[in-house]
Structure 1
Amino acid sequence: MIVVIRERLPALDAALTRFDGWWSGLSQRERLLLSVMAVLLFLVVAVFGVVKPLQAARAQALADIRTYETLNARIRAAGGTLGATAAPQRNGPPLQIVTDSAPSFGLAVTATPTAEGVRAEIADGSYDSILAWTADLVATSPLVLRRASFAPGPASGRVRATLEFGQ
């Protein structure tokens, strides 16, 4: 069972009463002319406010699709790929990989071998550099980051870090 609650709005009732009185006072010809004008106004608003913007958006989307398909075909014809080029893989023992890669990121690393891999300690390094170095190691070597701990460093933006890598 559906219950419809209808609340009376005095302002709306008054407006509808005034409109009904005004509409009743018009002749049949005036009512017809106003009805035709209302329909035409609705059609103009619908066409220029809804249909035309939708058509323009669709045309732009189709043009974008054509552009990207053309670019994709040109890239494939040239033998290229859309992905980034893979970085060269680092080889060697884990201890050597960790110690050789750190200086290129401006980091001084003390690396010690562990049973699972390598523990790298950084006494003072930029947080951003440590994260970039870690991401590079994981992407370009068989090493996997097992554990990381950070502590505030001696200066703002600097940290002490202990990272454990394994294979």
Structure 2
Amino acid sequence: MILKQTDAFNRGRDYLHLVQGFALEPGMVDVFDNLRDRIAICTWIGKNINSVNAAIDTYLEACHQCFHPEERRQIQIFAVPIAQSFGIDGLCNILTNPITILVDVGRVAPKDWFGIVVHEYAHAHLGDYGHNQQFANILSHLCLGLGLEPPLWEAGMEATLRSWPYCQSTIDPLEFWVGKGSGA
């Protein structure tokens, strides 16, 4: 039994090192300084990350279906605990090839994972980090195609678009990553 936990820990640790390379900076995906929880986080990830990634990959595929095949960009997606100091639920790194979306599924309830993927997909489709009118147009297109409430562009709504569609934040994002949160 101890060997299996060690194997799961090693798989989780290796996974986190892999996805650090896709972040805008490696410190965005760093649980190794968390002395209390790093073993539990790495072990849980090693045991469960494939099923979590499969779930969010279905959302990525749903977003792809909103566009003609020739309009789709190459995009990969990973669930990962994002350092709380950044205060974000997800990010899109348009500088990687393929473009990479990272989603901290521990920061929101599983029912809201779809919204985060849709938001980050809009960034990936545009190849831009901004929350401008172009972003609003792509996000509206996705929301209409996927049955979510679309934003209606108004000048000055950039701050609103940063969290569209709205997702309820969890109290302790790391609870999910140690197997205590919802969906675990």
TM range (shorter): under 0.3
Structure with bigger gyration radius: 1
More strand by percentage: 1
TM-score where L is the length of structure 2: 0.23
TM-score where L is the length of structure 1: 0.25
Higher RCO (CA 8 Å, separation ≥ 6 residues): 2
